[in-house]
Chain A
């Protein structure tokens, strides 16, 4: 009889361990959905000179809309930067030594969106300060200064 009781306890323990294993496995499977966010930005030169565009992968599918919105036919990626987001810490991305995009604040909303505060700095001079509500993967376009025969477009995004 003792043997049977011991077997019963062993069976319960085995079942609990199995359930725990599946719970941990499920937790690991859902981890990719909670991947850490990064603050990403890029500098794009918009012009009518030349042919073809070279947009970054994160903006694939936007070329037609950008043509319509900015009035240029060609978009050339000049540089892109990204940095992992950390709570309560500013995240700054610098282009060409003196163009700077700073994420001064990021707050997660209950609907999965983010409330962000951005600062665009040229040299040492802050140009604009913006507060926006964005979702992950949604680019925010800033039509910047003119350059050569076209214009500089800055794109920022909270990305995975």
Chain B
């Protein structure tokens, strides 16, 4: 059994058989009024949407295409703009290179696993003010010692924790 909408559409389009149409009209008496409104609306639409013939169709088409070309922003922007896609890529490469250069320049180098790997303590000059005191320097690879001799022994009760 056909649903109402299908039967109504077929009735409007005149696709029902005479017997089916008669039966439908008997079942839905208000359908005639709706059909009249439908036909009226159809007529109005046909009148309003009549195709117009342009006087200069080529000129019109060219104007439309030019307008589209001017307003197709993203494609034009990415192709020729100040920050086009290639320039953004190059900018990214330059910024990354700059970052790497700053990293290499600013971060201390050396083997971080060995705290003495970058040991530098070179004594260039040592001078004693007291003629009885003598200072000698023992420069080793990773340990530089200035040895002071001739100093008086500190008192045993001296509090060195302060």
Task: List residues of A whose CB falls within 8 A of some B CB.
Answer: 1, 4-5, 7-8, 11-12, 15, 19, 22-23, 26, 30, 33-34, 43, 45, 60-62, 65-66, 69-70, 78-79, 95-97, 99, 112-113, 115, 120, 122, 125-148, 152
Contacts and interface: CB of A to CB of B under 8 A. Distances in A.
Contact of B133 (A1, A61, A127): A127
A65 B133 CA distance: 26
Given A62-B143, A145-B153, A133 B120 contact: yes
Interface string B142-162: 111111100111101011111
B90 interface: no
Interface string B114-137: 011011111111111110010100
B126 A12 contact: no
B82 A43 contact: no
Contact of A30 (B70, B106, B121, B161): B106
6 contacts: A33-B107, A96-B162, A128-B127, A135-B121, A141-B144, A145-B152
Contacts of B121: 132-135, 138-140
Contacts of A138: 118-121
Nearest to B88: A15
Q: How large is the interface on B (under 10, 10 to 19, 20 to 34, 35 or more residues)?
A: 35 or more
Contact of B153 (A26, A65, A126, A146): A146
Interface of B: 70-71, 73, 77, 81-83, 88, 91, 95, 99, 102-103, 106-108, 115-116, 118-130, 133, 135, 138, 140, 142-148, 151-154, 156, 158-162
A19 B70 CA distance: 29
A102 to B, nearest CB: 13
Given A128-B146, A145-B152, 17 more contacts: A4-B73, A19-B95, A22-B95, A26-B99, A66-B143, A96-B158, A99-B160, A128-B135, A129-B127, A130-B125, A130-B135, A130-B146, A132-B123, A133-B122, A133-B124, A138-B121, A140-B144
A122 B151 CA distance: 10
B161 to A, nearest CB: 5
B95 A147 contact: no
A33 B103 CA distance: 10
Contacts of A152: 154, 160
Nearest to B142: A65
A145 B147 CA distance: 10
Given A141-B145, A143-B148, A45 B95 contact: no
Contacts of B124: 115, 131-133
A147 B102 contact: no
A4 B145 CA distance: 73
A147 B154 contact: yes
B148 A127 contact: yes
A43 B107 CA distance: 31
